[in-house]
């Protein structure tokens, strides 16, 4: 890298991971897994955050439309042609959930749908902080109490689109893991699956006293029941709804 490269704003060195992070691990197809124990992050609370935003192409499309209105104000009074992709992007509501299985054989789900918010200090030691319906910068967050990791057998974190509008291909969604110690771990939902409504993002397996985080990023066209069958959880599923508030 040339000396002047480090002086150009926005161009980072290979070791620069941004404000507040000394190092970031990106889980990809080529590097699909990492050990939390070996990174020093197998205790305390593991924070898992889902965030998303509109893709640049959708934002640029709206900017071009605004420019046309400025050049031709008469267009303002014509009824707007509603594009399906724009409407879908406005209404998209990504939710973060977690299937869990404990060492005692108990299984379940933590998710906004149905109000299954879990518990951090009692079984299942997995807690959803809230339900973000608008794609706020803070996104949605699930905490896992790894001080009770000996009671956890496996976890599967997933994202799904509540309003049944398949729009994964038009959102830039990312899940970031913040262990209590060590580097943060990032997983991009960057594969194109236009009709998918759910995605198994990553799993955590407690094997031989080692917590292994594995990238999944497997899109499915159904919802939790299909993810359940894919990973063999064996739960009974029914149709659920969110409250209006």
List residues bridging with 226 in a β-sheet.
none
Domain assignment present for residue 63? The answer is no
Q: Is residue 157 part of a domain?
A: yes
Q: Greatest CA span in the chain, whole angstroms?
A: 69
Mean pLDDT of 187-210: 89
CA dist., res. 92 & res. 88, Å (int): 6
Rounded to whole angstroms, the Cα distance separating 67 from 146 reads 52
Tell me, yes or no, whether 213 lies in a domain: yes
* CATH code for position 187: 2.60.60.30
First to last CA, the chain: 53
Mean pLDDT of 66-80: 45
CA atoms within 13 A on the CB side of 131: 20
Residue 124: asked if its preceding bond is cis (omega within 30°), the reply is: yes
- For the segment 117-162, what is each residue's pLDDT rounded down to a tens digit? 999 999 999 999 865 444 454 578 999 999 999 999 999 999 998 7
Which pair of tokens denotes residue 89? 């992007």
61 falls within a domain: no
**Does some domain include residue 65?**
no
- Domain tally for the chain? 1
DSSP codes, 20-71: T-S-EEE--SSS-EEETTTTT-SSSEEEEEEEEEE-HHHHHHHHHHHHHHHH
72, part of any domain: no
Q: Report residue 114's pLDDT band, with 50, 70 and 90 as the boundaries.
A: confident
223 lies in a domain? Answer: yes
The answer on pLDDT for 234 being more than 50 is yes
Q: Which two tokens stand for residue 58?
A: 């959708």
Domain that holds residue 185: 34-55+87-231
Examine the pLDDT at 198 and tell me if it is beyond 60.
yes
Q: Higher model confidence: residue 70 or residue 113? A: 113
Report yes or no on 118 lying in a domain.
Answer: yes
Length of the chain: 245
Q: Which residue has the higher pLDDT, 82 or 159?
A: 159
């Amino acid at each position: 890298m040339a000396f002047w490269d480090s002086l150009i704003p926005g161009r980072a060195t290979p070791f620069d991971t941004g404000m507040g992070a000394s190092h970031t691990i990106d889980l990809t197809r080529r590097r699909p897994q990492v050990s939390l124990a070996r990174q020093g992050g197998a205790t305390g609370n593991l924070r898992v955050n889902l965030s998303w935003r509109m893709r640049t192409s959708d934002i640029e499309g709206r900017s071009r439309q605004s420019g046309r209105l400025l050049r031709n104000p008469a267009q303002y009074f014509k009824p707007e042609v509603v594009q399906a992709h724009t409407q879908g992007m406005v209404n998209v509501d990504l939710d973060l959930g977690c299937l869990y299985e404990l060492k005692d054989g108990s299984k379940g789900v933590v998710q906004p749908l149905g109000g299954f918010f879990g518990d951090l200090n009692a079984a299942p030691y997995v807690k959803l902080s809230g339900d973000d319906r608008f794609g706020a910068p803070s996104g949605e967050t699930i905490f896992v109490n790894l001080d009770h990791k000996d009671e956890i057998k496996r976890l599967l974190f997933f994202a799904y689109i509540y309003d049944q509008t398949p729009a994964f291909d038009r959102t830039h969604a990312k899940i970031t893991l913040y262990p209590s110690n060590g580097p943060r771990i990032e997983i991009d939902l960057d594969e194109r699956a236009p009709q998918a409504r759910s995605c198994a993002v990553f799993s955590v397996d407690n094997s031989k006293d080692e917590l292994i985080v594995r990238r999944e990023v497997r899109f499915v066209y159904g919802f939790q029941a299909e993810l359940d069958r894919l990973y063999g959880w064996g739960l009974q599923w029914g149709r659920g709804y969110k409250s209006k508030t």
